[in-house]
Each structure stands twice: as C-alpha cells, then as structure tokens.
Structure 1
C-alpha cells in the first residue's frame, strides 16, 4: 500500500549533533559571512567598542552584531526586532553568533552608531573583489534609481501640493457651509440638529487643517528647495519614469562593472536629478578600480556638457545619448545635429550644403559660446524647414568637442545603451525586491546611506558566491 513521507514523532527522544558546527554544511553561505567579518580589522574601519570597557556590564563584540546584520540583509531580514527573533530560533544565526541573542535595541543601536564603519566594510568587500581578479575590466555602467523613504506623499509639501490642498479644503468648506444654509431653511428637528452639529465639527476640523497648512507652507517657503518632508526631513519628492508618478524618497546612484555586474561604487542623494552625478560617480569608480583610464556608459538623464568635460579631464571616456531639448524636430525643422561641424575649417555645413562661418563669441553664465551664421538663408529652398528668422545661427560651446567625442563613441557602439540596461538595471531590481515594498526603514540621509551600504554589500556577496562558490570565496578571503 502506498504511503506519504511521514515526519518524525515529536514526543520521541533524539540524539542531537554533538556540536553546532554539525548543523551547518560546509557550502552554507553563512560561513562566508563568518569568514569575511573575521578577516576584517574592525579598529581600523572605525567600529566603536572593539575593546571591552574596564568597568560596567560586558557588551557584545561588534563583530557579532556586524555578522548578524550582514546575514539579515542577505536573507531579507532588515528589522532589528526580526533579527532578535532569528538569533533565538534560526540555527544558522545561532551558529553564526555562537548562541548569543542580543536584544533589538542593542542591534538597532549598533547600526545607528557605526554607519561610517559599515560603509567602509562595503567598500572593503569591493576591494577584495578587485584583489581576487573579478574587476579587471575597466568598463562600467552608471545609473540612478528612486527608492522610497519612510515618508508618505501626504507628509511631503511642495508649492504645488500646498496650493492643491488649500483648494480642496476651501471647496470642502464651501460645500459644508452650503449644507448648513440649506438646513437653516428647513423645519427644526432632532435629525437636522444632529446634522448641523456634525457639519460644524467638520468645519472646525477643516479650520484646524488650514492653520496647519499655513504653518507647513511657511516652512516650505523657507527651505532652500521649497520642499519639506515631515517624517523624514531629508527625503524629497522625486519624479519617476512612470508618467505622472513620483515617489518621496532618495535617489541612489550606482556604478556597476559590465563583466560580473558587481556594484563597485554607490551613493545616496536626495536630489531628484542625475544631471550633476556623472563625473562624481565616474571618479569614484576609477579610484576603486585603481586604473588610469575608465570607460563608462550612462543614459541621457546624465547629459550635461560640464559633466562630460569633467569626465574627460579625469580620463573617463563616457558614452551616452544626447537628449533633444530644442523641440525643432517636433516643429518639423532641422535640429543642430543636422548641421555637420568641420573642425579643420571651424565652420558648420547646413543640410543645403552652405557653410556657416564663425560670427561672434558670447558669454552665457560661465559658458563661452561661439556662434556661427551664413547670409545664404534668404535664397535657400530649405529655409522653411530651417528657421523663421532672417538667418540661421548655430551656437557652439568652447568645449563642445568632448560632447562630439561622446557622440562618436555612441555611433561606433550601437549596442552601448542595451549593454547599459542589461548591466545596471538588474541590480536595482534585485535590491528593491530584497528591500520590499517599503524600501528604506531608517530616516535621515546618513542612516539611509548606512542601510544602502548593507544592501549593496549583501548584493555583492550574493553575486560573488554565485560566481565563485562558497568554499573558493572563503579560501580567497583567508589568503
């Protein structure tokens, strides 16, 4: 007769393994966490309380709490309270901590007080990857993504939000007042009196909300970017790729190597734009890889002449597409890209074959602009598709050759943008999946940066274990 696989009798006595080590297989990833932390020099990294105090109650060694956090982030357990429970019931954590069971406050305080040191641990693992020969290719992809903060949209105020909220409140007040006026014209009754009382309570609540809105508006106008967040003051409202959507959170920048897709540099910012991040992230990656020249690819959101020039000055060859911001194509007219620059003659050639010679130089802010024009526009048969002015004028930044170089690299490598997507967007998806729908758990930029460092470390550890295997990685750590 066929039977199902049956479990053991819970009331039967068993002979457990003689040691904790017998519970953990040699290929278990928890052994990587243990070996990695054991090889770190925690004093040099800046961890507090590495040496025990002479007096007072003994505390936990930082290595135990660091192991607990790395294990937690590897296994999608970021809450200090959940980590406390795991330390008492999870055999892997019991083995890792050698039966220690710190309380949730001790666990949370460790992450709060050692943010800078934890970031260095993340960087230390990237350095280890370089030493193991996993980062030999001087090619990276750069991208940014928006991560949710502990701050709902209702607790974030911008000028537009305040105006919309005030309009909603005023409409509600008008509606309730109209209902009160209607009630005054009817025959008195208990139901009508109860309704009037209820409406007056609502009006009083709306008046209170209007007063709070006035306070929030004053604080919002006084802030440098005219935006405030009440729960997490450092978080900001940011637009996302979805049309009409946005998120209150942080903009996380990453640099990912194109060979093994390891995150070699990252930074948490509260700026919603990527436009000022290109050179900064490229230089960080170049320093981590310890190389003289770096190839980087990014999307059009990073395109600014100053950033591209800063990359060129740092010996970073960046490839990225140029966004069309003039609107000429939408109007059915020739854009600047339709005019070919002839460097040897210092002229532009228009679609009709005419040459636009140097005309004058102007200064726009900190930019020196050279302008080129021709007098042949009046008799040109293509003038209707070119300009409504008397003559077409083309402007050229004095350092525009670095932008031309970036365009030439893109034209020579049509798969660059696809390679960028395949390289840098997958890590973001993995990170957000592990973080869950709420993303960050902590408030304020420094603490959020600490949390992101733990997420990046967990991601990189997982990638390297998948590439090398557990035992080879442990052996490499000990050499």
Structure 2
C-alpha cells in the first residue's frame, strides 16, 4: 500500500520534464486555446517576469574548457607531489616505507584514472554549442547573475501572465542569468498565443533595455518598464535623469525648475552620439545645488 506521504523527488520531476518536453508544451498550448475559447484572457495587459530555478547539477559537475584544463593541471600537480612523497617514503624503514608507498600508489592510480574522463569531456566540449557540459543535469548551465563574480547553475524561467485571471499565457526556459534580453520575445509570443492585435506589457526594471523596448514598439506592443536606479546624483540627493522631461515636439527637455533646455551641440564618445542640452540661466537658478555640483550647469 502506498504511503500518504509518497511523492516523487526533484530529480524524478526534472527527468520527467526532460523526457516529456514536447508533450508538456502541447498540453500548455491546448490549455491556452481552452482559455481563449472561454474568454478568460483580457487581451489587453500582460505581466512578464522571470524566476530562477536551481538545477540538480552542482558547480563541480559543470565543465568548461577552462575548468577542464585547470582540473587536469591540479591532477598532474597532485601526481607529481605524490611521486615526490613516494621517493621520500622509500628512505624510511622498510615496513613503514612499504605501507606508505602503497597508499601513495593508490592515490596516484586514482588520479590517473580521472585524466581519460577529463579528456573525454574536453572532446565533448568542442562539439558543445555553448562550450559547457553539465553531467548530472545535461540541460543546466552556469548562469551569470548581477552579483560580481557570482553565478548559479540552473534555469531562468520566463512567464507571461494575463492580468484578468492571472493565468499563464506563455513560458520559456532559458539559460541566461538575467532578463534584459527577454522582453520582446516573450511579449510577441504572448500576443500570438492570445490572438491580440495590440498589447500592453508590464515588467520590472530587470527587463529595461533600449533595443528590447524599441522592438516591442515597432511590433505595436506598448511597454511599461521602469528604468534601473543607477544615477549617482539621485543617491546623493540631487535630481536624476528621470526628473528631466523630454518634449518631443520641440526637441527640448524641461528641468525640475520648469525651464526648457535646448540642444546646443552633439559629439561622439565611445561610439555613441551624444546630444548636449542646457539652459543659459542655470547659474542663477535657485535649484542649481540640487541639480549639479558644477559651477555652471549640469
């Protein structure tokens, strides 16, 4: 008789998903069609977000060319060290020398057995599209995250959710550790799934990328994505870039003091075309200290 607490472990679930990927996608697609027929989607606003799921694979079971070479070098250094220790053991008393030498020979043999396995992995890496191999979970990849020098092994699952009943419209599993390049792809897929001509998408600031927002606009998809808070001025209590409102009709900016900043000149910097806007009366402005640390203007 089955125990009431009986449940599949995470590895069983992961393997089931991997072995039945096409069938699961088909079921999800049929579910979306059913929801459309029942008019459960608003066909106007969707939210997109990503969730990171750790893989069964750990760091030691993931390999790149650099990791393989480093591991081979470590093994060779260990073998050399054990060989030197064997020479030292030979100079001890016969009984002690034999016992110690036997232990060292076993360690050396164990290390030598690892080399062919690493060479086999190295050969597989040449055929790998992204130059990575994960032994426990073959689909898992090392994903860089926002933390410097950090990363995680797993998946970034993208989800598009309807705002009417909070139903999942579309999903996609990626191996990219951030969401910056996912906006237009998920937005277009979601619109296609619900059969909408126009669509409004909301997402957090992790999705903010100019080219992605432009791609959505060109596809007729309106996006609401907050800009990342990267302004040093804002952190120090001064006005940030978002406090300056662009007036498209006259190609000017309106500053927090209400003055219009006109375009004065343009220049190239690091391959980018920069336009300079300012107001001639900045020096006499009562808000100058909240705007800039410079003597003249921002």
Equivalent residues of 1:358, 1:370 under 8 A apart: no
Partner of 2:30: 124
Task: Flag the 1:177–1:77 CA change in 2: closer, same or farther, 3 A.
Answer: closer
Alignment of 1:417-436 (within 5 A): none
Note the C-alpha offset of 1:207: 4.1
Equivalent residues of 2:42, 2:163 under 8 A apart: no
Tell me which protein shows more helix as a share of its residues: 1
Tell me which protein shows more strand as a share of its residues: 2
Check if 1:189 corresponds to 2:90: no
Note the C-alpha offset of 1:205: 3.0
Residue-pair matches, total: 285
Note the C-alpha offset of 1:329: 5.8
TM-score relative to the length of structure 2? 0.70
Note the C-alpha offset of 1:141: 1.5
Equivalent residues of 2:158, 2:172 under 8 A apart: yes
Q: Select which of 178, 181, 188 maps to 1:276.
A: 181
Gaps of 5+ in 2: 1-5
Check if 1:295 corresponds to 2:200: yes
TM-score relative to the length of structure 1? 0.47
Q: Distance in 2 between matches of 1:181 and 1:376?
A: 83
Check if 1:320 corresponds to 2:225: yes
Partner of 1:372: 276
Q: Secondary structure at the match of 1:129?
A: helix
Alignment of 1:80-479 (within 5 A): 116=22, 118-136=24-42, 138-149=44-55, 151-158=57-64, 161-162=67-68, 165=71, 168-169=74-75, 172-173=78-79, 176-177=82-83, 179-180=85-86, 182-185=88-91, 187-210=92-115, 212-213=117-118, 216-217=121-122, 219-220=124-125, 223-239=128-144, 246-324=151-229, 336-337=241-242, 339-348=244-253, 355=261, 357-360=263-266, 369-372=273-276
- Larger RCO: Structure 1 or Structure 2 (Cα < 8 Å, ≥ 6 residues apart)? 1
Note the C-alpha offset of 1:146: 2.9
Note the C-alpha offset of 1:333: 8.1
1:384-428 superposed Cα distances (whole Å, 9 cap, x missing partner): 95579x996xxxxxxxxxxxxxxxxxxxxxxxxxxxxxxxxxxxx
Partner of 1:397: none
Equivalent residues of 1:347, 1:372 under 8 A apart: no
Equivalent residues of 1:256, 1:265 under 8 A apart: yes
Alignment RMSD, CA only? 4.6
Q: Distance in 1 between matches of 2:176 and 2:27?
A: 25
Mean CA deviation greater in 263-272 or 354-363: 354-363
Task: Flag the 1:220–1:120 CA change in 2: closer, same or farther, 3 A.
Answer: closer
Q: Distance in 1 between matches of 2:143 and 2:22?
A: 26
Equivalent residues of 1:250, 1:269 under 8 A apart: yes
Task: Flag the 1:157–1:319 CA change in 2: closer, same or farther, 3 A.
Answer: same
